[in-house]
Amino acid sequence: MAEHATVSFAFHGLRGGSMPQSHRMAMLHAPTATLLLCLAVGPVRAGDAGKPQAQSSGKDASDQDDDDKPDPKKEAGKPNLYLDLSTTYTSSSGPSFITGFARVPTISGASSKSLTFTAPLTYEPSEHLSFNVGIDGSTSKSPGQPWSRLQIGNVTGGFSADIFYKDKWPTVTLNGSVSRPADPNSLPLGVQTTTWVGGLDLDYSLNEDDTAGLIAGASLTRILIDAGALRRVGLTGSVNPAYLSYAGAYYEWSNNWKLTGRVGLVTFGGAQIGTRINVRSSNQPFGKLDLERLDDDGNTLFGVSAVVVASPKPSLQFILSTPLYAIRN
């Protein structure tokens, strides 16, 4: 008889408010097996840098003082390099399918709590392109059990690129990522997985200074299992694709606080691994709010997020984002 299993996903904050992270790592847990997933939607992008002011060609005494100041044109081309630290607390009140902007989904047949830590290194050579690579770790607690030992989960690499950006038109962003377990030997069945994610995001600004806008997007997640490893332990199976779509809006006040809200739906095709894991297909709506503090160039200094997933028993997530900049435009 198959063990009942459900999925819990961890949501993470956004960079730049309206622009979500380009890579989201995921791990499935079951009483006797663990799979690794990745579910992603959205790019990582720097905010619009301030435009340099026009300068006259002549020089006087006051111009000599300006010579000691940084060249605004050079500053505008400065890249971003930062460690995008985030901490996620998830509370699931029973069998549920928490999903959305995810880093760590977990299969569990009972109520549980978890803490997930992520540390992707992100490099943004321009406001229209970014790359990231990093790891995640997590610890969890089931009823009547102590918190588990913190374990390293996935190593993930990803990118996002604006493939269309023009005034009075939505910005179109292509993003993708690939994820593999950091230590396959730590998995109960020792089964290696590779997760591929691809998605498109739209951002339509409602004003010239980009402080209000509409957002929408969709992604596809495909999890490939090492069939040879499964056969060695006498099992067969597969994980079906997951599709995500969302729509929302954002607004930024003059004091650089930004609020983003969205609602969406994830359709998961289910998973079957022998008699060990049996996850039914399901559709799960979700809502997410992000509150961020930005600098004058649109870079996130601090962020908090809250997620509600309308599973049979609603699940909650809270995310704290604290990026550490080595180079900031």
pLDDT greater at residue 42 or residue 281? 281
Report phi then psi at 226, rounded to 5. -70, 100
Which range has the worst mean pLDDT, 147-151, 184-188, 262-266?
184-188
- The answer to whether residues 50 and 70 touch, using CB atoms and an 8 Å cutoff, is no
- The answer to whether residues 314 and 286 touch, using CB atoms and an 8 Å cutoff, is no
CA angle, 210 then 40 then 312, to 5°: 105
Q: What is the DSSP letter of 4?
A: B
Tell me the pairing of strands 34-38 and 129-141. unpaired
Q: What is the pLDDT of residue 103?
A: 43
How many C-beta atoms lie closer than 10 Å to residue 45's C-beta?
Answer: 29
Report phi then psi at 164, rounded to 5. -150, 125
Separation CA 41–CA 50 (nearest Å):
27
pLDDT greater at residue 4 or residue 146? 146
Which range has the worst mean pLDDT, 161-170, 201-210, 243-252, 266-275?
266-275
User: Which residues are bridge partners to 315 per DSSP?
Assistant: 309
Separation CA 136–CA 117 (nearest Å):
6
Distances (CA, A) of 127 to 18, 41, 43, 162, 217: 14, 18, 11, 9, 19
Q: What is the pLDDT of residue 157?
A: 94
Which range has the worst mean pLDDT, 54-63, 146-155, 273-282?
54-63
Q: Is the predicted pLDDT of residue 167 greater than 50, yes or no?
A: yes
Q: What is the mean pLDDT of the chain?
A: 75
Q: Which residues contact 287 (CB under 8 A, 6 or more apart)?
A: 261, 262, 263, 307, 308
Q: What is the pLDDT of residue 67?
A: 52
DSSP for 186-242 reads GSTT---EEEEEEEEEEEEESSTTSSEEEEEEEEEEEEEE-HHHHHHTT--EEE--E
Q: Is the predicted pLDDT of residue 78 greater than 50, yes or no?
A: yes
Largest CA distance in the chain: 86
Rounded to the nearest 10°, the torsion over CA 206, 210, 213, 217 is: 130
Which range has the worst mean pLDDT, 56-65, 159-168, 253-262, 279-288?
56-65
CATH code for the structural domain at 7-46+73-327: 2.40.160.40
Which band of pLDDT confidence, cut at 50, 70 and 90, is reported for residue 291? very high
- Tokens 């597969």 -> residue: 238
Q: Is the predicted pLDDT of residue 95 greater than 80, yes or no?
A: no
Separation CA 37–CA 184 (nearest Å):
13
The pLDDT tens digits for 173-224 are: 999 999 888 876 666 566 778 889 999 999 999 998 999 999 999 999 888 8
Which range has the worst mean pLDDT, 199-203, 230-234, 235-239, 306-310?
230-234
Q: What is the pLDDT of residue 66?
A: 52
Q: Is the predicted pLDDT of residue 125 greater than 90, yes or no?
A: yes
Q: In percent, how much of the chain has pLDDT > 90?
A: 36
pLDDT greater at residue 134 or residue 224? 134
Among the ranges 103-107, 137-141, 224-228, which has the highest mean pLDDT value? 137-141
pLDDT greater at residue 94 or residue 215? 215
Q: What is the pLDDT of residue 110?
A: 58
